[in-house]
Amino acid sequence: MIKLLVVTVTVLNAGLIAVPATGVPATRPDIDSVRTWNELAVDAVRLNRATDADAARLYAMVGVAVFDAINGITRQRTPGLVPATGPHHADQQAAAAAAAHAVLTRLDPARSSGYDAQLTADLGELGATTPAVTRGAAWGDRVGEQVVAARTGDGSTPVASQPAGSGPGVFRAAWSGVQYRDVAPFAADDPARYAPGPPPALTSSAYADAFAEVAVLGDAGRLAPELLATYQFWSLPPGSSQPPGEWLRIALTVSADRHLPLAEQARLTALLTMALADTTVATVATKYAYRHWRPTTAIREADTDGNAATAPDPAWSPRAGSAGGSPEYVSGHSSYSGAGATVLAAFFHRDHVTFRHATDSAPGGVARAYPSFSAAAAEAGVSRIYGGQHFGFSNRAGLALGRAVATEVVLTSLR
């Protein structure tokens, strides 16, 4: 069962807020290496049509490489993956750009020429031939290479699948990516320990209540423009940034709004992306263990579930237009959202931070305003019910799973 750790004010005050950087000044009026290279990572996920799990891994590798490159110069925090210390008088922006470049050229070689051009432009803006920039770039490249080496053989490949199941309560299709249940974590000691217990029994009243909820809210046959728009806003299909990428984009927006120093931008994005990547492990492990059927199958075949309170509707279709490509329990959108909101609230010492955001799948590209990180996470989670893709208990368990993984990461990492 999930054991949720509590982030206390005392712990937060122990080191989750910015400390002035040392060494060569980190900022330039026209350079923001953390934002630029994280946005390039998001573009790579879009262009490669990466899965949510692959996307989270790529974001974490870029995030921790950038952090370790800067931290090796400032020497303020415990490292992420690379424990070595870098040159003291080196340019932090150059180090960050070179570290991200080293990761992206190896993970996305088809677009290496574009990454080369961006690095050349960045270093040129910083003064490519100056000793500080030269040292920073060389150090960052070394860090990026070491991060790639550290994650080689982490279990993310080869791709493995779980075969199709059969019978009441069981997900019917084969699905791939199940190797991620055993992937080496970035920061959490054992993310799979946060996997929740089983979903409600098919014969239970809790299951019948969740069944009735999604049968109404997620029904494609019921006109509900607001529910459809909310589902679409958070749907994030292949070709988008994927759910982990939206929380990374939110972090970049809030960081820019608050003018965070470079080192703190890097620490935030590293904490966030490592938590998101480790949330993948627990999410996939849960899906693999329980193989729970999606609402589409459950509603169409309710006469087989043994529950007198559920009625079959063979013509029922989900508002999303598709049943979903992996087992239902838990909701991955929800677990990523729980993790993302938890890291951001911990970092900024409060949940109620207002922001505006337009996801990659926002209808008409229109942004929405949120009063807090948890409000955005709650909307992302319930959107899966509106789309007819998840039950309410799967959303709630997913949010709790993500919060638990993220709490461990912020309590133990980059201190």
- What would the pLDDT profile of 350-400 be if each residue is shown by its tens digit? 999 999 999 999 999 999 999 999 999 999 999 999 999 999 999 999 999
Task: Phi first, then psi: give them for residue 179, nearest 5 degrees.
Answer: -60, -20
What average pLDDT score do residues 128-134 get? 94
Q: How many CA atoms lie within 13 A of 285 on its CB side?
A: 20
Would you say residue 24 has pLDDT above 80?
no
Q: How far apart are CA 89 and CA 95, in angstroms?
A: 11
What average pLDDT score do residues 248-273 get? 97
Do 145 and 68 meet the contact criterion of CB atoms below 8 Å apart?
A: no
What average pLDDT score do residues 108-137 get? 96
Q: How far apart are CA 391 and CA 220, in angstroms?
A: 15
pTM of the model: 0.93
Residue among 189, 204, 201 nearest 407 (CA): 189
Q: Domain extents for the chain?
A: 22-151, 161-412
Mean pLDDT (the chain, rounded): 93
Rounded to a whole number of angstroms, the CA Rg of the chain reads 22
**Same CATH fold assignment for domains 22-151 and 161-412:** no
Question: What is residue 2's predicted lDDT score, i.e. its pLDDT?
Answer: 36
Question: What confidence tens digit (pLDDT) does each residue in 286-326 have?
Answer: 999 999 999 999 999 999 999 999 999 999 999 999 999 99
Terminal Cα distance for the chain, rounded: 28
Do 311 and 302 meet the contact criterion of CB atoms below 8 Å apart?
A: yes
Task: Phi first, then psi: give them for residue 329, nearest 5 degrees.
Answer: -105, 115
What average pLDDT score do residues 157-176 get? 97
Would you say residue 141 has pLDDT above 50?
yes
Strand partners, 172: none
Question: CA angle 9-370-340, nearest 5°?
Answer: 55
Q: How far apart are CA 370 and CA 177, in angstroms?
A: 32
User: Class of 22-151 per CATH?
Assistant: mainly alpha
User: Class of 161-412 per CATH?
Assistant: mainly alpha
